[in-house]
Amino acid sequence: MDLRKRLVYFTRLIRLLAFAYLIVQYIVVRERYQASQMIPVIVGLGVFYVIMDRIIFRVPEERFKSASLALMLFEMFLVSLLIYFTRSDPIREFEYLYVLPVANVALWFGLREGISYAAAASAAFSLTIALSGRIDWPRSMGSIMGTATFYFASAYIMGYMAEFAERESTEKARRMVELTAVSGFATLFDSTLLESKVYSNLCNAISRSVSPDVVLVFRLEKDGERLAVAACDGVSESEAGLEIPVGYGIVGKVLEEREPKLLRDTDMEREFRHLLESQRIRSAIYTPMKWRDEVYGVALAGNTERGSLDENDLNLISALAVQAALAVHNSRLYSDLEDRIGELHAIFEIDKAITSAIDLETVLQQIVQMSVGLMDAKISSIMLLDEESEELVIAAAQGLSEGYIRKGPIKVGESIAGKVIQEGRPIAVYDIRHDPRHAYSEQARMEGLCSLLSVPLSLKDRVIGVLNIYTDEPHAFTPHEINLFTSLASQAAIAIENARLFESLEEIYIEVITAMASAIDARDAYTHGHSQRVTEYAVAIAEEMGLSPAEVDIIRNASILHDVGKIGIKEDILKKPGRLSEEERREMEYHPFIGTKILHSVRLLEPVMPLVYHHHEWFDGTGYPDGLRGEEIPLGARIISVADAFESMTSDRPYRKAMPVEEAMAELRRNAGRQFDPRVVEVFTRLAEEGKIELEWSPSRVITLTDRLGRAGM
């Protein structure tokens, strides 16, 4: 809602209150007055208020003021009638009704109009009481003057408030326009990476924002000695090629001090220099194109009229200059990046290759090979730091002889590599054969090594080793080459640390699985070795079915852990020699859910959980826990189901003796398509017939579980 509407609503509320007071007053003293005179005036006033609202809200903007002023005069006329008709027994408060139109005009149109209507109200009131015969000279003059003073005071207060609110609203609107302009031009600056276009956009932005007579955008030349016009507006063709020394006039001062400057009158500034012949600048704004610690130029906006630019213009142009400076900064960065795009692409490919490997030895070998390719050299090596002994040892090399690799470790602080670790910065050596800092100068000469660049393998606040590149001829490594090789070393350090972490996780993973499997087998002498036997069957089936090594590993781990949930089942149920009751059976069927809850806390076991959870599903959908059927059941769970059933049937249990192998195989075939996946049963049967799996077990084979886990390559 705009300011005018808010003021209209406010004055409407005041009128409603005044009209209600008028009616109450009339009702209280109505016997004193002629109803034929009072009622039409009161009704007319009420109708006037309604009509006035309709008119004010519907009148066009260009006619709002004239319509409003006329209505306020008519309202004064109605108030005068009201006072005149109550002349026989005056109600004192009625003269204050003149304040409503006075306050309205002051609120809507400002202090000057409000004062004018206060004078009109004073005249109307004086004339009305004079016609009513109520003036008692000179005693009435005090009352008239007091009332008039009230009208003027109301007009002053309301007018001041309205103008203050209008100024605030105007200032907010202006700031919004400025912010919108800055935002819009920022987008424009960001849309180009051509430096020349940035200067042109800044000139255009200044011209459109503050409408100056002259705009000059100076670019600081690369030699740092000259300022040249890069874009301009409002100047002659010859002036568009203007160049000045960096210390010249106000432009040079602003460049040096890096602070914007406003000149309201250039004649009052001693350091001002007239740059143009075509126009005489009388007021001007100078602002540096500064981003962080860099200054790229100076923008000048000038007018031929004194005092025509102010602080608001200064702030706006300064904001635009900052945006332009950032755009210039970005364009120069882009230009530099274009020159290095091939090298960055090479770094990206190297990074992708080394970070995709998880084996530490493979990672190290890839790093040295790619170092040679990136730097167009022949020899590279990685030395890793043993933090306990504080020694560097060659962990991988390309192009070095075995003799040089075995030359021995280097202490931190010794030789070039040791100093790189100690100082945490790259060191480039032009010729290590004659550099006293190198501990193995003679071996380097025999190896054919000449120049060396050694950079630290850094991870945040620690160094884990060094990456070296050698040339067989003298070579002065440039800052760019050092930075490029340092970038490679940073990626290499991350890849090495990732490989180390993965190795640690693998060890923890194997320990977790081994501990869980041992806990399962330890609960029951009857099922001792059950998980291992199921695992061997399941892995053989999975490999025969052509599953990938990763899928086989998941099935192997799931087979080991398929009964881990039995840890949560009561021991008397697990070892019960007879048939389980319905309640006991339901509790036993809960063990897949318990198993997945246990595994859920080990993130690396996430692929295993669906197989553990569903290994008791039946192929026809009558199994548990979810009643899945056919292909809905994970293949790994269908494989484990066959292996688990066969192992259970051929092992002693508290409630029965082991079934002969032939009967167990027949039971599998009989239940194929009902309980078991026929394809899995067919593969298992074929493996058994071909002798590819061993169906007879001895106690001596039970103890190989941990060894089997180690061979799994997890």
- 419 and 451 share one domain: yes
Question: What is the C-alpha separation between 667 and 338, in angstroms, rounded?
Answer: 72
**What pLDDT, on the 0 to 100 scale, is given for residue 681?**
94
What local confidence, expressed as pLDDT, does residue 263 receive?
93
Q: What is the pLDDT of residues 45-57, one digit of tens each?
A: 778 777 777 777 6
Would you list the DSSP string of 677-691?
A: -HHHHHHHHHHHHTT
Separation of alpha carbons 236 and 226, rounded Å: 21
In a domain, 493, yes or no: no
* CA separation for the pair 323, 183 (Å, rounded): 9
Task: Check whether residue 331 and residue 348 sit in a common domain.
Answer: no
Asked, for residue 497, whether it belongs to a domain, the answer is: no
From CA 356, how far away is CA 348, in angstroms rounded? 12
Boundary of a domain, candidates 431, 453, 481: 481
Could you count the other beta carbons within 10 Å of the beta carbon of residue 482?
A: 16
Mean of pLDDT values over 583-605: 82
Q: Which residue blocks in 306-453 are alpha helix, DSSP H? A: 311-339, 341-356, 360-375, 402-405, 415-423, 441-447
Are 667 and 651 members of one domain?
yes
Q: Verify that 143 and 260 share a domain, yes or no.
A: no
pLDDT in tens, 198-234: 898 889 888 888 889 999 999 999 878 899 999 999 9
Cα-flanking dihedrals φ and ψ of residue 132, to 5°?
-80, -5
Tell me: the pLDDT tens digits for 90-143?
666 677 788 888 888 887 788 888 899 899 988 888 888 888 776 665 666 777
Asked if the structure places residue 239 within a domain, the reply is yes
Same domain, 678 and 541: yes
Separation of alpha carbons 614 and 593, rounded Å: 9
Structure tokens at 291: 């981003």
Structure tokens at 428: 């480039």
Same domain as 541, residue 684: yes
Is the domain of 53 the same as that of 75? Answer: yes
Task: Calculate mean pLDDT across residues 306-325.
Answer: 88
What's the whole-model pTM score?
0.39
pLDDT digit string, tens, across residues 665-696? 999 999 999 999 999 999 999 998 888 888 76
- Cα torsion 430, 434, 437, 441 to 10°: value is 110
Is the distance from CB of 477 to CB of 455 less than 8 angstroms?
no
SS3 659: coil
Is 642 part of a structural domain of the chain? Answer: yes
Closest CA relative to residue 655, chosen from 467, 524, 488: 524
- Let me know if residue 496 belongs to a domain: no
How many of the other CB atoms lie within 10 Å of CB of 430? 14
Q: Domain check: are 537 and 622 in the same one?
A: yes
Domain count, the chain: 4
The values of phi and psi at residue 11, to 5°, are: -70, -30
Residue that has been written with the tokens 């998880």 in this structure = 358
- Residue scoring higher pLDDT (136 or 22): 22
pLDDT of residue 695: 77
Residues 425 and 534 in one domain: no
- Give the domain range for residue 160: 3-169
The average confidence (pLDDT) of the chain is 81
Lowest mean pLDDT among 217-231, 325-339, 548-562, 689-703: 689-703
Q: Do 161 and 273 fall within a single domain?
A: no
Taking phi over 0 as left and psi of -120 to 50 as alpha, with beta for the rest, 213 belongs to: alpha
**Domain boundary pick from 338, 357, 391:** 338
Query: What is the rounded CA–CA span in Å between residue 302 and residue 552?
Result: 79
CATH code: domain of residue 671: 1.10.3210.10
* Residue 514 forms part of a structural domain: no
Domain co-membership, 291 together with 354: no
Cross-sheet strand order for the sheet of 410-411? 410-411, 391-398, 379-386, 462-470, 452-459, 427-429
CATH of the domain at 250: 3.30.450.40
**Last residue of one domain, picked from the residues 447, 481, 515:** 481
Q: Is the pLDDT of residue 649 over 60?
A: yes
Asked whether residue 713 carries a pLDDT value surpassing 60, the answer given is no
pLDDT number for residue 706: 36
Indicate if 454 and 542 belong to the same structural domain. no
Look at residue 546 and tell me if it is in a domain.
Answer: yes
Q: Average of pLDDT values for 65-88?
A: 82
Return the DSSP state at 125: H
Strand partners, 676: 672
- Residue 702: predicted pLDDT: 38
Select the more confidently predicted residue: 183 or 582: 582
Render pLDDT for 376-392 as a digit per residue (tens, 0 to 9).
787 888 888 887 888 88
CA–CA gap between residue 591 and residue 488 (Å, rounded)? 51
- The dihedral built from the CA positions of residue 124, 129, 133 and 138, taken in this order, carries a sign that is negative
Can you tell me the distance from the alpha carbon of 397 to that of 380, in angstroms, rounded to the nearest whole number?
6
